[in-house]
Structure 1
Amino acid sequence: MHARSAVFDLYGDHLASRGGWAPIASVVRLLDAVDVGAPAVRTAVSRLSREGWLEADERHGVRGYATTPRATRRLASAWDRIYRTSPPTWDGRWHVLVCEHVSDRSRRDRISASLGYLGFARMAPDTWVGPRTSDELESALEGQASRSFEASFDGDGAALAEELWDLRELAAAYDDFVGWADLVTSAVADLPRRPREAFAVRTELVHEWRKFLFRDPGLPPEVLPNDWPGHAAAARFDELTRELRPAAGAFVDGCLRGDPDVIGVPHAALESSD
C-alpha cells in the first residue's frame, strides 16, 4: 500500500468522523499497522499538504494535520460512493459532455483520468458520456471549455453501457475481490477481538474497494446484467467492514490518545467504543 493512499484512506474512513484532524505522531502509529514506515508517512503528509489536501494545524500544543475544505469535500464524496449512503437515482437520461480539444498531453491525461473517476466514458475523441453529472465536474475539467446536456439514448441502454465500459473485466474484478476478501478474513477469524489486526485488515479492504471508484462508473441497475457480481461484492464488503468496525475504531481511538496498545480490550468495550 502506497503511503499517499494509506493517508487518504485513514482520513476518509476514520478521521473524517473524528473531526478530520490528527497528531502526526498518531498518523504514524496508525499506518505502522499496515506496514507504512514513518519516513514514508511524513513524506506523503508533506506532499499532500503542498497539494492542498492537508494543512498543518496545531491543537493544544500538539502538531497535527487537518483536511482542507477541498479534501473534506472529496473524501465525503468518495466515502459516499464507497458505502453507497445515498444511492443515486436514474431517470433514463445520459449526461453528455463535449470538451474543447486539449493539446497538452499530460493535461489531457489528467482530465481523462478525472472524468473516468467521475463515471464518464469516452464516446468520441472529445465527447464523454456518463449516467449522471457531478459536483466535481468543473474542477475535473481544469477550466477547459466544454458543453454538456442531458440526452435520451434511442436504443438499448444495456448495449450502450457494454460498448462504452468494459463490463466483463469489471465483473471479473468484483469476483476476484470476493474471493480475496474471503481468504483474508477466513485466515483471521478472531479479528473482532484484535484491534490492531482488525484495523489493518479493514484498511486493506477499504483500500482495495476504493480502487473500484476509478473503474466502476456507478451504472444504474437498468443497464446492468441481472446477475451483476458487483452487488454481491458490495454486500460482502459491507458485511466485513461492519464486523471489523468496532475493533478498528478502538485501535484508532487508542492511537489518537497516544496509547496504541489496545490489543486485548474486552469485546464488550470494543462494541461500545465506536
Structure 2
Amino acid sequence: MHARSALFDVYGDHLRTRGNEAPVAALVRLLEPVGIAAPAVRTAISRMVIQGWLEPTMLEAGRGYAATEQAIRRLDAAAERIYRTTRREWDGCWHLVFLDPIRQRADRNRVRAGLGWLGYAELSDAVWISPWPQPELTGLLGGEGATAATATATDFQPAGLPASCWDLATLGEEYAEWLERVREVEPVDDHDDPDEAAFAQRFSLVHEWRLFLFRDPGLPDELLPAAWPGREAAAHFTAEAERLKPGADRYVDRCLQ
C-alpha cells in the first residue's frame, strides 16, 4: 500500500465528514496501524501539495493539511462509486469520446489512465466508450490540455461489441478471488484495541475495493453476466464496511483528538 493512496483513503473515507482536514500528527497516527511509517506519510503529503490535492492549514492542534476543491471533487466521485450511492437506469445509449492526437507519450498515457479511471474503454484507436455520461470528462481533458469530440450511439454491430471492450472474464475472476480471501478475517474483539483493529480491517477493505474502480467500469446490470461475481462481492463489501464502521469511527476520533 503506497502512502499517497492511503492518504486519499483517509481523506475520502474518514475526513470527508470531518472538515476535510487533519493535523500531520493525526495523519501519522491514522496510518500507523496499516503499516505506513511517519517519513513515508510526510513525503506523500509534500507530493500531494505539489500536485494540488492538499493545501497547508493551521489547526488548533498544530500544522495540518486540508483537501483542495480538486481533491474533494475526486473523493466525492470515488465515494459514489465505492458505496454505490446513486442508482442509475441505463437508457441504452453509449457515450463516445473521439480524442484528438496527443503528441507527447507521457501526456497520452495520463489521459488514457484518466479515461480508464472514469470508466471508459478504448473501442478503437483514439475512440473511447462508456455507457454513462461522465461529468469529470471535461475537467480531465482540460487539465491535460487535451481536446476531443463527443457523440452518442445506440446501435452497434455486433450488438455486444461495446461490452466486449472490457475484460469481464478476468475481472469476474478477480472479484471471486477477492471475496474468498476477505471472508477469512480475524475477529476484532480478539485484539487488545478492538477499535484500532476495526479501523485497520475497514481501511484495508476499502483500499482493496477502491482498486477495483480502476478496472470495473460500472456497466449497467443488463450488460453483465447472469452469475456476475461482482454482485456478491459488492454485497459483502457493503455489509463488512457497515459492520466495522462504528469501531473505525471511534479510532479516527481518538486520533484527531
TM-score (normalised: structure 1): 0.89
Assess, with a 3 A threshold, how the Cα gap between structure 1 residues 252 and 197 changes in structure 2: closer, same or farther: same
What CA distance in whole angstroms lies between the structure 1 residues aligned with 2:195 and 2:166? Answer: 39
Please name the residue that 1:99 is paired with: 99
Note the C-alpha offset of 1:133. 1.9
What CA distance in whole angstroms lies between the structure 1 residues aligned with 2:190 and 2:67? Answer: 30
Instruction: State percent identity of aligned pairs.
Output: 46
SS at match of 1:42: helix
Please name the residue that 2:187 is paired with: 188
Please name the residue that 1:13 is paired with: 13
What CA distance in whole angstroms lies between the structure 2 residues aligned with 1:191 and 1:114? Answer: 41
What CA distance in whole angstroms lies between the structure 1 residues aligned with 2:8 and 2:124? Answer: 33
User: Contact 2:156 / 2:162 at 8 angstroms: preserved in 1?
Assistant: no
Q: CA RMSD in A?
A: 1.5
Deviations 1:111-146 (A, max 9, x none): 000001111111111111111121210222223121
What CA distance in whole angstroms lies between the structure 1 residues aligned with 2:210 and 2:190? Answer: 21
Please name the residue that 1:261 is paired with: none
Aligned residues: 254
What CA distance in whole angstroms lies between the structure 1 residues aligned with 2:206 and 2:61? Answer: 32
SS at match of 1:18: coil
User: Contact 1:191 / 1:198 at 8 angstroms: preserved in 2?
Assistant: no
Note the C-alpha offset of 1:243. 0.3
Amino acid at match of 1:143: G
User: Contact 2:23 / 2:61 at 8 angstroms: preserved in 1?
Assistant: no
Deviations 1:60-95 (A, max 9, x none): 362111100010110011011000001222100000
Q: Structure 2: state its 5+ residue gaps.
A: none
Q: How does 1:107-122 map to 2 (within 5 A)?
A: 107-122=107-122
Note the C-alpha offset of 1:154. 3.6
SS at match of 1:225: coil
Please name the residue that 1:253 is paired with: 253
Amino acid at match of 1:70: Q
Please name the residue that 2:145 is paired with: 143
Note the C-alpha offset of 1:156. 5.8
SS at match of 1:101: coil
What CA distance in whole angstroms lies between the structure 1 residues aligned with 2:228 and 2:107? Answer: 34
Note the C-alpha offset of 1:155. 4.6
Note the C-alpha offset of 1:204. 0.4
Deviations 1:193-245 (A, max 9, x none): 70111101110000100011100011001111111111100000001010000
User: Contact 2:188 / 2:197 at 8 angstroms: preserved in 1?
Assistant: no
Q: Structure 1: state its 5+ residue gaps.
A: 258-274
Please name the residue that 1:124 is paired with: 124
